[in-house]
Amino acid sequence: MTDRTRRETPEGRRAPRRAARRGSTSRRALVVAALAAAAVVPAAWATSAVGGVPDEQAAPASAAPAARALVEAAPVGDRSEVLARAQEAAALAVAARAAAASAGVEGSAPSSATSSAPGSATSTPPSGLSSTPATSTSSSASAGAAVTPTTTRPSASSAPAAVQGGRGPLAGARFWVDPDSDARRELARGGDPALARIADAPSALWLGDWVPTDQVRARTAGVVDRAAAAGSVPVLVLYAVPGRDCGGYSSGGLGSASAYGAWVRAVAAGIGDRRAVVVLEPDALAQVDCLSGGARTERSAMLRDAVGVLAGTAAVTYLDAGNSGWVDAATMAQRLRDAGVDRARGFALNTSNFKRTADEEAYGERLSAALGGSHYVVDTSRNGNGPASGAESWCNPAGRALGVPPTTTTSGAHADAYLWVKRVGESDGQCGRGEPAPGTWWPAYAVGLAQRAR
């Protein structure tokens, strides 16, 4: 059982701030500085990777503080793009360095970036928990910080090469940043500056039974229209399936299959022919063990219908498939088939959890192989500091950090994107320790996630 966002910010006042765009040379200089500070490759090598910045603009590898200062000097509204460029270049550089090491030529430039499936990882259901504590080796890069990979660098023999710019329908996509997010409003009230790392990053909008059927079309259309006007793609999470969360912290959902079908059709009408990413029903397949046989069949039918309805829009749909520590790949692959994954782009992993990106990609590749090449996305919103341990370690665990910001540059052979599916800074639930209710904005926790991001 993982946390699910149950409240959405009302439309209210919208006051997006438009930051002046830096020139391409300025952005490239920031990218080079970030790469050099991370010591991913020599400064001259990083220069060629991002496209022709004069050598004198590249910071030396020992200048991490200077590089951090350069990135933090970027206008708030420009940081996401600067960091996305840096991250993409860093991913390419890591892959190239691994390839070069295998050839015995340290620091030589890559001829191309190709992808291969990562190695396998165990997928053992947790003992006594419906959703496992997560482990995370994803890169932790966030707005306002130098882009420094936090993963252990892969060996030359096992490292998959990053795919620059992504693949398929999301290739090169810019994801939508909510200008009125809780983090943005907290900053406006004088909140900790570290919250800019959250406010500047694209994050998903959750739509559930708290948005009635007669309102959800307009709510969806409003977000999709604004994203289209900004030249970006929104990520929507649909979370209203009957019997949601099996009576857990985020229990709820619509009252019947027919009500759910009508609600999904209203969402689809709000999307129409505008681009969007849809993550469909977190936990709905991973948790079916709590349902009776008839209820399981009905749930699969509801999800299959929803996938078919969304297939008639411009949305790119991913059925939620839990995470690598929950349901074994063979079982989950069958559940995805039953739910109509063949009519979706694929599946989503690690939603609201903390699993290592490498582990999720290994699991994703096993699922993909079982499904004939289906694609997937990974939630990296809070997996920047690895796993927590102990009972209910999935629920507001201490010491976690933001993961790599949303990007279409990935390492998994069938991974389309890393996304922030979880609304970062919202509580997972009371967890018996006095935390806020699920979906409640929790500034102190959000600040901790941001401050620990590297």
85 and 172 belong to one structural domain: no
Domain final residue pick, 76, 103, 130? 103
User: Based on the domain organization, do 181 and 44 belong to the same domain?
Assistant: no
Do residues 99 and 172 share a domain?
A: no
Q: For residue 91, give both structure tokens.
A: 């991913």
Is 149 domain-assigned? no
Where is the domain boundary, 47, 70, 103?
103
66: containing domain: 24-103
pLDDT of residue 129: 28
Among the candidates 55, 77, 103, a domain finishes at: 103
Using pLDDT thresholds of 50, 70 and 90, give the confidence band for residue 319: very high
223 and 363, same structural domain? yes
Catalytic residue (one of 245, 320, 359, 416): 245
CATH number at residue 338: 3.20.20.40
Whether 283 is catalytic: yes
Determine whether 182 is an active site residue.
no
pTM: 0.68
Q: What proportion of the chain, given as a percentage, has pLDDT over 90? A: 58
139 belongs to a structural domain: no
Q: Is the pLDDT of residue 182 over 50?
A: yes
* pLDDT at residue 163, rounded to an integer: 77
* pLDDT tens digits for range 209-246: 999 999 999 999 999 999 999 999 999 999 999 999 99
The H or E element that residue 235 is part of is strand 235-239
240-298: pLDDT as tens digits: 999 999 988 889 999 999 999 999 999 999 999 999 999 999 999 999 999 999 999 99
Number of Cβ atoms within 10 Å of the Cβ of 30: 29
Tally of structural domains, the chain: 2
- pLDDT, one tens digit per residue, over 406-426 is 999 999 999 999 999 999 999
Catalytic entry in 283, 320, 359, 379:
283
User: Residue 417 falls within a domain, yes or no?
Assistant: yes
Segment 92-118 shows an average pLDDT of: 36
Examine the residue annotation and report whether 200 is marked as an active-site residue of this protein: no
Answer yes or no: do 334 and 425 share one domain: yes
Domain assignment of residue 352, yes or no = yes
Kind of pairing between the strands at 276-280 and 205-208: unpaired
Q: Which two tokens stand for residue 383?
A: 């997996």
Per the residue annotation, which of 178, 182, 416, 428 is the catalytic one? 428
CB count within 10 Å of CB 152 equals 8
Do 91 and 215 fall within a single domain?
Answer: no
Same domain assignment for residues 86 and 173: no
Residue 303 included in any domain: yes
Indicate whether 32 belongs to any domain.
yes
pLDDT value at 40 more than 50: no
Closest of 287, 272, 267, 142 to residue 200, by C-alpha: 142
Neighbours of 240 (CB within 10 A): 23
